[in-house]
Amino acid sequence: MSFQAYIDNIQAKTGKTPNDFKVLAENKGFLQNGEIIKTVKATEITNWLKEEFDLGHGHAMAIYATFKGKTE
């Protein structure tokens, strides 16, 4: 599955874009000024995405990758 397919599936399932998740992650205290706070671990973010949005591990990692600036 391509990265874009992961993002498309996430948006179809949750109605949220990667930018929407960035805003939510800032509100949760995972990001500050669009950057992951250095003390925040990847598992904290992926666990939140799995629990709150019922994403699988690969989909949660795709959102995490957008936080890291890997893709749009």
Residues whose CB falls within 8 Å of the CB of residue 54, separated by 6 or more in sequence, listed in order: 13
Give the residue-averaged pLDDT of 46-54: 97
* Number of domains the chain is built from: 1
Q: What residue type is 58 in one-letter code?
A: G
Task: Find how far residue 42's CA is from the centre of its chain.
Answer: 10
In a domain, 61, yes or no: yes
For residue 9, give its domain range: 3-67
The rounded distance, in Å, linking the Cα atoms of 29 and 69 is: 18
Residue 72 covered by a domain? no
Cα gap 66→25, rounded to integer Å: 12
- Report the pLDDT value the prediction gives residue 1, as an integer from 0 to 100: 73
Mean pLDDT of 21-29: 97
pLDDT the model gives residue 70: 81
